[in-house]
Chains A and B, each alone.
Chain A
């Protein structure tokens, strides 16, 4: 079997397995509240679930569709099946996979990227599962230390800490381009402070703006290159 045939067979099986585990996980996760409800002798109040879904569920549905469209190509097949089951995309899985990809120099859409991103997402998920497992075991003795008021600011700021590091990493690639979405977002959040509650949605216009600008620059450079 040559390399291409091998990869095709691998991908076919990845899709099969990915679909299978996605469906099984779905059934398990939706079934669990009912099983727990039976154990506790109190099944979910479906009316409240429906009302709750109408208020917050629709918002998350839109964001899930966007996440699917944006992240699937970044992560490749195996990586994205795993990532959508294991969650924590923006705050961990995506930067983690991008970091791994960068380290080994794999290009988007190549078999190499498919392998690296699956390895990266699987590792990241296992680390989370392990840390949480150990954490839950240690929860009782650990609680006073971790909940000590002195440490709270650290954990409350884990997201800014992540984005600070990512900012240096990505802004230096194209500082001029980066200044425009940063300025636009800063003005927007300053004028409409209530948007802070939906920062995850503002990623969409901000990302679109950055991609648009990057595309214009890319086109201009491609033209300039052809002319020279």
Chain B
């Protein structure tokens, strides 16, 4: 049996599948509790349903992208491990980078035929280890931190609520960092000011922003509010389609 066949064996699927199932159950429990709490607090169930549908439609396309990550890693790590990592904890960028770094430490490269069973378990452990902090901090500090914010938030509310503005600004900053990186990669990616870098991401950004504009226009000006549920997914799909048409 080759290493890859061993990594794709039923017993590995079983180990990973049990963990995925556990976390799926956790999600269902949290969802049911939140739904009940919302009802008990007098929230409109139509709005709660809307939040659920919007979140579900929103998540389909990114999830397909994540699935592709499983495909990308399955060539070197087998299917079940990347399936577990990307279903429940990681993000594709993170997993790929850490797996690659671990392989480097072992003097092999991902996707090569140098993979051994020990290299695999080492890579798998490093992938698990590097991203535990969010969970640890959550378990230790979430309650304390939120209580403190809540108290601070109470004071801020008297001043008119900067919290929501700060979150919107954080988003503006985040989007700016990514778009800035695409512009920078195009202008200087292949040598300073050579304007020879990859311009596909820029086109994708522009197309999906424009389509988002159309969605927003239809939703706000033409009374098609239901379109809002599909605005982000729809815009992303159009942007991605543009990338296919460009063929880069």
Other 10 A-B pairs with CB < 8 A, given A84-B138, A124-B59: A19-B143, A36-B81, A39-B12, A69-B145, A87-B91, A116-B48, A158-B62, A158-B240, A196-B181, A208-B173
Is A228 close to B, CB under 8 A? no
User: Which DSSP category, helix, strand, loop or mixed, fits chain B's interface?
Assistant: helix
Docked-complex contact A118 and B34, CB < 8 angstroms: yes
Q: Which one of B141, B153, B228 lies within 8 Å of A109 (CB-CB)?
A: B153
Enumerate B51-75 residues with CB–CB distance to A below 8 Å. 51-52, 54-56, 58-68, 70-71, 74
- Quick one: given A45-B106, A126-B24, are A155 and B146 in contact (CB under 8 Å)? no
Min CB distance B245 to A, Å, is 9
Docked-complex contact A108 and B117, CB < 8 angstroms: no
Q: Please give me the residue from chain B that is nearest to A131 by CB atom.
A: B63
Q: How many residues of A contact B (CB 8 A)?
A: 161
Docked-complex contact A207 and B15, CB < 8 angstroms: no
Min CB distance B82 to A, Å, is 9
User: Which DSSP category, helix, strand, loop or mixed, fits chain A's interface?
Assistant: helix
Docked-complex contact A215 and B162, CB < 8 angstroms: yes
* Complex-state Cα separation, A88 to B177, whole angstroms: 18
* Complex-state Cα separation, A200 to B79, whole angstroms: 27
Contacts of B26 in A (CB 8 A): 21, 25, 82, 85
Q: Which one of B37, B136, B240 lies within 8 Å of A7 (CB-CB)?
A: B37
Docked-complex contact A57 and B126, CB < 8 angstroms: yes
Docked-complex contact B179 and A157, CB < 8 angstroms: no
Q: Please give me the residue from chain A that is nearest to B103 by CB atom.
A: A52
Docked-complex contact B243 and A153, CB < 8 angstroms: yes
Min CB distance B119 to A, Å, is 8
Docked-complex contact A135 and B181, CB < 8 angstroms: no
- Quick one: given A88-B62, A129-B88, are A40 and B117 in contact (CB under 8 Å)? yes
Is B27 close to A, CB under 8 A? yes
Is B110 close to A, CB under 8 A? no
Docked-complex contact B138 and A22, CB < 8 angstroms: yes
- Quick one: given A100-B51, A165-B208, are A95 and B91 in contact (CB under 8 Å)? no
Contacts of B132 in A (CB 8 A): 26, 29-30
Docked-complex contact B240 and A127, CB < 8 angstroms: no
Chain A 21-46 per-residue mask, 1 if CB under 8 angstroms from chain B, else 0: 11111101110111111011111110
Docked-complex contact A109 and B163, CB < 8 angstroms: yes
Docked-complex contact B207 and A122, CB < 8 angstroms: no
- Quick one: given A40-B117, A193-B192, are A222 and B160 in contact (CB under 8 Å)? yes
Contacts of B22 in A (CB 8 A): 24-25, 28
Min CB distance B210 to A, Å, is 8
Docked-complex contact B177 and A185, CB < 8 angstroms: yes
Is B223 close to A, CB under 8 A? no
Enumerate A28-86 residues with CB–CB distance to B below 8 Å. 28-30, 32-37, 39-45, 48-49, 51-53, 55-57, 60-61, 64-65, 67-70, 72-74, 76-78, 80-86
* Complex-state Cα separation, A24 to B136, whole angstroms: 11
